[in-house]
Structure 1
Amino acid sequence: MIRPQFEIFAKRMNEKRHFIQVLAGSRQVGKSTIIRQFFKNIDIPHSSESADGTQITTSWIEQLWNTARTRVQSSGEFILCIDEVQKIPNWSETVKKLWDEDTRNGTNIKLALCGSSRLLLEKGLTESLAGRFELIHVPHWSFKEMQEAFGVSLEQYIYFGGYPGAADFTSDEERWKSYIRESIIEASVAKDILMLTQITKPALLRQLFDIGSYYSSQILSYNKMLGQLTDAGNTTTLAHYLTLLNQAGLLCGLQKYSGSLLREKSSSPKFQVYNNALMTTVSGTTFETCRNTPDMWGRFVESAVGAHLVNGERTGGYTTSYWRNANDEVDFVLSRKEAVCAIEVKSGRRKTNRGMDSFKKLYPNAKIYAVSAQPASATLGLEEFLGLRPEELL
């Protein structure tokens, strides 16, 4: 399976040395696979190393670089790739020094960096490497990609989500859930958040992830959460932890659309997982039970729609939110500058909703769409919608 991000990466790496290429995305979305696929198809000398260990320092980066400098003397060109570079303290200053030395000396070492902690990776890039890099965001796998690579059906994608590493053993749900829990959730929380960020209440962060994933596609106020969480502290702590989970590509909190940034920031969040596999793993249900429980299945459908939207934000340049006024609600709102569209998900859940009419009265220039698992002439089919780039709706 060749993803669009591979094409971008390969094109840039085959160009003359201009910028550091950075692949950023959460765990198990295929960043390392892109690197392997690229190296498999080139004859240029190269080296790929990972900093996903303990007690690695900047001297390790210098050792890799010096080896590359030795090899480039005979080959004229060398590609160095460092995975999980953000885990090395002060990595960006060292990379800047070495990169700038090579630029001054005309040393043709091309550099690719990968990382699963978006916050720390981008922090280092913007602080020390401004003007020296290009960022390639690697999102979770879409339905079309999972269907093409693994023959996944629409129903399987809604329930099992889009982690390629787990696709081959969905028939064994306990094994599949164990993989998601240990290799993705725990690794992301422990290695990408707790190890790299000062967290005073790690148990609370894990509880927040569980509750947020369970209630994916639902609105839950911070005050209501305080009553369900042990040692919750205050709403500021919860909001901060939710930001960290978002930056790890696990869970986000959509804000209420109002046209006012101040109001949006103060609203109750609508939880949204980036991958439905996370929702499934904490739900405690089975595929058969979920599929045969209309209200539960409806929530999974809505969450799959939301996941598709939030995964497209980085490349689409839009913001995903929701809208609610009293009993009127719109499931999702996309906005980009002056362009706005409202999306209602007809998932089979019983809900009385005049939200689209009310929203249209407030925002008459907004486009409106309905997405349905059972498509009709006035709606987008769910499979059709999951094959679209969401920005096309704007």
Structure 2
Amino acid sequence: MTAYNRWYEARLRRFLDKPFVHILFGARQTGKSTLIKRLLPPDALTINLAEPLERMKYLSDPQELIRACRALAKANGPRFVFIDEVQMVPDLFNAIQSLYDADTTAFRFILCGSSARKLKATGANMLPGRSILHRLFPLINEEYTKEAESFGTEFSPLPLEHSANLQNFPRRNLEDRLAYGDLPGIAALDDMEARRELLKSYAAIHLEGEIRREASLRELPAFLRFLKLAAVNSGSMVNFTGLSKEVGISTPTIRSYYQLLEDMFIGFTVPSFSGSEQKSLVSAGRFYFFDMGVRNAAAGVRIDGSIVSLNPGHFFEQWVGMTLFRKLSYAGEGRLSHYRTRGGAEIDFILERDEEWIPIEAKWTQSPSAKDARHLRSFMEDSKGRVRRAYIVCICSRPLRLSESITAIPWHML
């Protein structure tokens, strides 16, 4: 199988030269372990806490990590120690701190986790002042083979530095990515049936099984009803009261379930824009699943290109939101929000970076027009100079200037 590179690989490689503990979080199957193993030296100590015997050993005696590390042969540089699914044994963080504080250069710890819930619940020592947090997401456009015609990054609302000499994933059309998502293992497969089965297994085994065990859920039928509705409503404003009535559980429980999905990196909330002085803004946030393929599997819809054609704009807007969230996280600064007034004026996304507001609309159209930009223009007029540029992300073939400050860009330039 071809070994594809990740965009974050070069950045993580640079960071690993720094004498800190490195913690990489992300949902399952985003490629965390594969990425780290590409960067580890051959003599690294690897501990996989997903293996029951390994997990039981360290649960019963976290000090075993100290003994294992001190037994490693001396080296000219730091000895690398990789611990996968570290959230399963939170007490290991105290052992790591003990080793790190004794000698900051002796070991280079790389910790990998697919959930922050247990760490939060147990008040785990996250090594403040000693650790650097990293996040890994499903694929972004920069990780695919470029489209035949490339227009550079000058039109992009959120350009990322380009890592040279990447072995990119094969190019995929937009409908394929909206249906099957951007998990690395899915993107590398040509077999559509295998893709569907893998995504259904993800929903059944991870979303239903592992989340239930992680949170010790007692009302499993209610949670499964919630999970399907959360997936169906992905990208919409969250109505906690309405969901509470539909699922048949309390509003606080619905809120806790959404928080659980965020703690497991299964989704994220895009809050309402708060920079406006208008009193008539809708304050509800929008919840998004982290990947389109996983969202479709959890929603119980048939996973293939035909499902997208039923409501392409809805699928596309979600994908744009997921892409912006991933890239903003990789950029390391800024905030993503949405804008809607009680009168119905709406902008899908607002990027807030460096004192600048960048409004972005997602439109399923090949021929964007001035009419598609009317809410962008209104927002710009009310922004008191904070907006210098605005974008429509669509399915046009090349960038189009709709006005001096409003540009329509093809989806693959996002």
TM-score w.r.t. the length of structure 1 is: 0.81
The answer on 1:100 being equivalent to 2:117 is: no
Of residues 6, 9, 27 in structure 2, which corresponds to 1:3? 6
Deviations along 1:231-262, one digit per CA (max 9) or x if unpaired, are: 2212x32223212212322223322213279x
User: Residue 149 of structure 1 aligns to a residue in which SS?
Assistant: coil
Question: Identity, % of aligned pairs?
Answer: 21
Identify, as 1 or 2, the structure richer in helix: 1
SS state at 1:114 partner: strand
Give the match for residue 139 of structure 2. Answer: 141
In the superposition, relative to structure 1, how do residues 265 and 120 fare at CA in structure 2: closer, same or farther (>3 Å)? farther
Aligned residues of 2:293 and 2:303 also touching (Cα < 8 A): no
Distance 2:255 2:171 in 1: 38
CA contact (8 A) 1:92 1:124 kept: no
User: Residues 65, 180 of structure 1: CA spacing in aligned structure 2 closer, same or farther, 3 A cutoff?
Assistant: farther
Does the residue aligned with 1:321 lie in a helix, a strand or coil?
strand
Q: Which residue in the other structure is 1:327 paired with?
A: 344
**1:273–1:279 Cα contact (<8 Å) kept:** yes
Residue 51 (structure 1) shift: 0.8
Give the unaligned 5+ runs of structure 2: 146-167
Contact 1:146 1:164 in 2 (8 A): no
**What amino acid maps onto 1:25 in structure 2?**
G
Which of 173, 176, 181 lines up with 1:161 in the alignment? 181
1:381 pairs with 2:403: no
Indicate how the Cα distance of structure 1 residues 208 and 266 shifts in structure 2: closer, same or farther if over 3 A, else same.
Answer: farther
C-alpha distance in structure 1 between counterparts of 2:38 and 2:270, whole Å? 35
User: How many residue pairs were aligned?
Assistant: 371
Q: TM-score, normalised by structure 2?
A: 0.78
Partner of 1:284: 301
Q: 2:188 and 2:313 mapped to 1: Cα distance?
A: 25
Change (3 A) 1:256 1:90: same
> Is the counterpart of residue 33 in structure 1 residue 40 in structure 2?
no
Whole-Å separation in 1 of the counterparts to 2:228 and 2:129? 39
Unaligned runs of 5+ in 1: 387-394
**Residue 204 of structure 1 pairs with residue 222 of structure 2:** yes
| CA apart distance, 1:117 | 0.9
In structure 2, the CA distance between the partners of 1:297 and 1:330, relative to structure 1 (3 Å rule), is: same
Q: Distance in 1 between matches of 2:170 and 2:191?
A: 13
Give the letter for the 1:100 counterpart.
Answer: D
2:236 corresponds to: 218
Instruction: State the Cα RMSD in Å.
Output: 3.3
Q: 1:340 aligns with which of 345, 357, 366?
A: 357
- Residue 302 of structure 1 pairs with residue 317 of structure 2: yes
Alignment of 1:251-262 (within 5 A): 251-259=267-275
Provide the rounded CA distance (Å) in 2 between the counterparts of 1:7 and 1:353: 37
CA contact 1:217–1:270 (8 Å) conserved in 2: yes
CA distance 1:265–1:202, shift in 2 (3 Å): farther
Q: Distance in 1 between matches of 2:280 and 2:189?
A: 41
CA distance in 1, matches of 2:121, 2:8: 22
Change over 3 Å in CA distance of 1:167–1:4 after alignment to 2: closer
- Of residues 246-255 and 264-273 in structure 1, the stretch that sits farther from structure 2 once superposed is 264-273
- Report the counterpart of residue 81 of structure 1 in structure 2: 82
**Structure 2 vs 1, CA of residues 3 and 264 (structure 1 numbering), >3 Å: closer, same or farther?**
farther
